[in-house]
Amino acid sequence: MFPGFIDTHTHFEMNKGTPRQTADGWASGTLAALAGGTTTVLDFAEPEWGASLASALDTWHSRADGVSSCHYGFHMTIKNWNSNLRAELADMDRAGVTSYKVYFAYDNLRVSDGTALEVVRAVGERGGIVGCHCENGDLVTAGIAAQKAAGNLDPSAHPLSRPAAVEAEAVNRWLAVGELAGYPVNIVHLSTRRGLELVRMARERGQAAYVETCPQYLLLDDSRYNLPGFESAKFVLSPPLRGEADQAALWAGLEAGEIDTIGTDHCSFHFRGVKELGREDFSQIPNGIPGVEHRPVLLYTAGVAAGRITAHQMMKLLAEQPAKLFGMYPRKGALAVGSDADIVIFDPEYTGCITAAAQHQAVDYTPYEGFETKGRVETVLLSGEPAVEGGRVVSQGRGRYIRRVPSQFWR
């Protein structure tokens, strides 16, 4: 039995201009989450350029409220910074939004180092936490241009355009921002050994830094960029999949307790007609892959059943630590009197196989097609009421917004 799992990183109904719209909206995405034992998701609200944080919060509520099948909260994306946005942080606190994300990559999203510093200070002094997408945007732009100039236009160019150094540089810079700000920082979707080494060194200097990685960086590798035809587009996400040495380092980091949370970065674009937008130019492939449904069983199979981590470590990674870092503990992330009674009953003996045909995710593929799995989420109670029985989802639209408090840091 586990406390309901928390996915710290989803992008439901992410619209980057039709047809660059994610396949999963709030209805299918949260149903899939629930089917896999995830009872709470934290999705990224994103204001339109120049718009208020409140406007993004309203938009995300209008999409999720009454629709979401699991409980939910929102991280807030900061794309630019000014005194009005700063003043809104108090409103966000009252609304239960206590975590933020900035990007060092993507031309329309990335912030300067100076802005990042101000955001970490402003959020940190309120007890919140800022996460960063750590890739150096200028180096990515140069990397894409270099691949195109060399005539490499297929998906195999994607990882070459953003190698490990691109992440490592940004992790180092982000840690420097946190150090100068004097507040803890979070690194989302960490994918490299080099990035983890930098975190280790910062912690040894006494800095508080938190790390999220994702199942794809543990279970999929960069050989997926050499598949026949255009298949590799199914694995185009950022940061890209890495090699075996990075995977091994991340597993070692999990075992050693150096990684704090595992989110999916669920960002599901159909292969047909959407990923295919980049058939002639890999840089036009919408970035992101699905995973919200399969994270717990994947971690159980490759982590617990394989003897790499204990079931208790899995519980901490998928429930307790996310709940603490994002201000939901012990309401979430614990099996205790007074907690919310989001409960997963797991059958460790079940054997299965992941297929797109059998998934609840409303996307036309899964990157884990054919993965043999051990264990299954048998029963889920959502706020004490049955939500999954015998592996079948039996309730929809019962998710409630989680008003979060400041982070409960433990490092």
Tell me which of 35, 157, 202, 267 binds ligand URP, using CB under 6 A: 267
Q: What is the C-alpha separation between 199 and 149, in angstroms, rounded?
A: 34
Minimum Å gap between C-beta 387 and Zn ion is 25
Which entry of Zn ion, ligand URP, none binds 266, CB below 5 to 8 A by partner kind? none
Residue 390 CB neighbour total at 10 angstroms: 9
Tracing tokens 């980049």 back to the chain, one arrives at 278
Q: Which is nearer to ligand URP, 22 or 39 (CB)?
A: 22
The answer to whether 215 touches 298, Cβ cutoff 8 Å, is: yes
What is the identity of the amino acid at 374? K
**DSSP assignment of 325-336:** HTT-TTTSS--S
Q: Hey, is 120 helix, strand or coil?
A: helix
Footprint on residues 343-382 left by ligand URP (CB under 6 A): none
Residue 66 CB neighbour total at 10 angstroms: 12
Residue 387 dihedral angles phi and psi, to the nearest 5°: -125, -30
Minimum Å gap between C-beta 106 and ligand URP is 7
Q: Which is nearer to ligand URP, 169 or 265 (CB)?
A: 265
265 binds ligand URP (CB under 6 A): yes
Footprint on residues 234-253 left by ligand URP (CB under 6 A): 237-238
* Per-residue binder mask for Zn ion (CB under 5 A), 129-168, x = binder: ----x-----------------------------------
Maximum pairwise Cα distance, the chain:
61
DSSP β-bridge partners for residue 289: 266
Q: Is the peptide bond before 19 cis (omega within 30 degrees of 0)?
A: yes
Which entry of Zn ion, ligand URP, none binds 77, CB below 5 to 8 A by partner kind? none
Residue nearest to ligand URP (CB): 287
Minimum Å gap between C-beta 263 and Zn ion is 8
Footprint on residues 53-112 left by ligand URP (CB under 6 A): none
Tell me which of 246, 265, 293, 342 binds Zn ion, using CB under 5 A: 265
Q: Which is nearer to ligand URP, 71 or 162 (CB)?
A: 162
Q: Is the peptide bond before 386 cis (omega within 30 degrees of 0)?
A: no
Q: Which residues contact 144 (CB under 8 A, 6 or more apart)?
A: 157, 161, 283
Tracing tokens 């990075």 back to the chain, one arrives at 246
Minimum Å gap between C-beta 181 and Zn ion is 20
Which entry of ligand URP, Zn ion, none binds 25, CB below 5 to 8 A by partner kind? none
Residue 90 dihedral angles phi and psi, to the nearest 5°: -65, -40
Q: Which is nearer to ligand URP, 8 or 321 (CB)?
A: 8
The contact set with ligand URP (CB under 6 A) reads 11, 133, 237-238, 265, 267, 287-288
The contact set with Zn ion (CB under 5 A) reads 133, 265
